[in-house]
Amino acid sequence: MKQLIKPPRLRQGDTVGLIAPGGYTSDRAIEKAVRNIESLGFRVKTGAYLRSVFGNYAGSVQQRLADLHAMFADPEVKAIWPIRGGSGCISLLSGLDYALIRRHPKVLLGYSDITALHLAIHQRVGLVTFHGPVASSTMSDYSREHMMAVLTDPRPSYTIPMAAENAQRALSEPHYAIRTVTEGVATGPLMGGNLSLVAALAGTPYACDYRGCILFLEEVNEAPYRIDRWMTQLDLAGGFDKAAALMIGICDNCGPEHEEISLTLDQTLDLHLQPLTIPAVSGYSIGHIRNQFTLPMGVRATLDTHRQTVTLLESAVA
């Protein structure tokens, strides 16, 4: 198991660096992100290129790298919080200064396209980063509670229940329901992220090594055949049976397209989950959803399908 580097815990009054390493952003989103950060008791420092636009990206690769490196190097900044995902983070990986990140370990928080940064930094540095809300997310009490607990309070263990709000929503939107495909209890490091990004990195030096891990995956706005393709690619590249468990989040708007002949999302997932003997679940409270919990990458945890909980077995911050 990789030797983990845990970033210092966040404290009230700390400065959070706001950057856009992927998709371009807007003044309205920046205002919302600043409100979010300040409402949590932190100060904000914005990246020099936060408002840059290059196609659908937040500036050129060089500009986005410059902001990310500047925030890691700045002693005043204690956490780095991307304003959104979008696309483009994968283009930064070969230019990242991993030695700089190793010298200045800090909280890096986000999901979706930020998955590329999480996986590469884990692979090259061993730094615990955090798969959770982006800075412009609309956060619920649930997502705020579990995010702050993981970032600010280094407890030896911490149990995260699934969101009651998602269970309520499942009454009218079935894909919000928790499904246990294979029951059981599994322990291992947490690893994964956005399915398309995890699949895109397979076969590269930054690939997700999920052997012995609780592999978590989520997706949004993708047809079932694409989910199937990416799941197949990941299984061929690494073998899902080598994971300790497979945890699929809530994949919003991933059903068949209008009047298209297609498998359902659940049927598609079951092609990959049912053959496994390891614990396998879907509908857990991660993904492009309001009520999501924060997962520290690389930290050991236990997935319990009966209790429908994830328990962190060590602190994620120092």
Structure tokens at 167: 């269970």
Catalytic residue among 131, 146, 175, 288: 288
Could you give the C-alpha distances from 266 to 32, 175, 270, 271, in angstroms and in order?
35, 8, 6, 9
0.85 exceeded by pTM: yes
Based on the residue annotation, tell me whether 38 is a catalytic residue of this protein: no
Catalytic residue among 131, 175, 218, 272: 218
pLDDT block averages, 10 residues each, the chain of length 318: 89 98 98 98 98 98 98 98 98 98 98 98 98 97 98 97 96 95 98 98 97 98 95 97 98 84 95 98 96 98 98 98
Q: Are 286 and 308 in contact (CB under 8 A)?
A: no
Structure tokens at 22: 């992927």
Q: Which of these, 85, 100, 88, lies nearest to 57 by C-alpha position?
A: 88
| pLDDT of 285 | 97
Catalytic residue among 52, 112, 196, 282: 112
**DSSP strands (E only) in 27-139:** 43-46, 77-82, 107-110, 130-131
Q: Are 54 and 25 in contact (CB under 8 A)?
A: no
Q: Are 22 and 93 in contact (CB under 8 A)?
A: no
Based on the residue annotation, tell me whether 146 is a catalytic residue of this protein: no
Based on the residue annotation, tell me whether 140 is a catalytic residue of this protein: no
**What count of Cα atoms within 13 Å lies in the side-chain half-sphere of residue 58?**
32
CA pair distance 96, 271, nearest whole angstrom? 37
Q: Are 134 and 193 in contact (CB under 8 A)?
A: no
Beta bridge partners of 252: 220
| pLDDT of 259 | 67
Q: Are 272 and 279 in contact (CB under 8 A)?
A: no
